[in-house]
Chain A
Amino acid sequence: MKRRSFLKATLATGAASVAVSAGLLTPSTVLASWNKKAFDAKKVDEALNALLGSSDAADSADVKLTAPAIAENGAVTPVTVDASGMKGVESIVIVASNNPTPLVCEYKFSGAAQGFVSTRIRLGSTQQVMGVVKAGGKLYKAQQEVRVTIGGCGG
């Protein structure tokens, strides 16, 4: 019991000091085109608002999210968001709703790029994975629950 509470305490203070040192040590010039506010957001809505200016996404059958129903290892979960059937796709955002910072990645498309992304993401626990597509100034989404048997965020 003592050992457990000791670990908890060290983890909590450790995380706080990381946040401080990261803020102080990271030169802002390096991350000029990185949306820190969106990536640091703790809630899905906050992240989407900071990134896309809105969090009001409508469910759409044209957004196809492919993810495993059960991920044995949350550290490498294959996720595909396919919006090739939509016109005027501006960006695709992947969100892991229950991770400490939910925003996973944002892909902005222009010119000949198609609205399609496939990648591997970390999931800390069983949760909803969401694919948000911005097309013609509006947001569309698809989501799916992924059960995680081994989390992928801790050390």
Chain B
Amino acid sequence: MSINLRTRGSVKGGVAEIKSLIRHPMESGARMDQSTGKPFPMKLITNVDVSVAGKKVIDAQWSANVSANPYMHVNVAANSGDEVTISVEDNTGEKGSDTFKLR
């Protein structure tokens, strides 16, 4: 299983607005399951990378304070036609990535 994410981006005035929606529970490991009395196991996206035109431009680290099914919007100076890759990894080693061309 890989992490499912959807990204889109468009260039306005030389700046690409890159917006991602990621499907992920962002479970902190501290929340209790009332039916079993045990905590839900930790499952948390820890690292997010954004590359534009083959160069890594943003390197992010997240905690459980980021909402479930995270939304991220970043801006990068780019040209239309540039290829954008967003890749994510969680604490269990599960990965996901999305690559697309800027309009």
A positions within 8 Å CB-CB of B:
10-11, 14-15, 17-18, 22, 26-27, 30-31, 33-35, 39, 75-77, 80, 84, 96, 99-114, 116-122, 152-155
Contact = CB atoms under 8 A, between A and B. Distances in A.
A14 B37 contact: yes
Interface of B: 15, 28-34, 37-40, 42, 46-47, 50, 52, 55-68, 70-78, 89, 91-93
Contact of B75 (A22, A75, A114, A119): A114
A103 B52 contact: no
Q: Binding site of A, secondary structure by majority: helix, strand, loop or mixed?
A: mixed
A105 B62 contact: yes
Given A112-B76, A114-B75, A18 B60 contact: no
A154 B67 contact: no
A3 B67 CA distance: 30
A80 to B, nearest CB: 8
A134 to B, nearest CB: 13
A11 B39 CA distance: 9
8 contacts: A99-B65, A101-B63, A103-B63, A108-B58, A110-B59, A113-B57, A117-B72, A121-B66
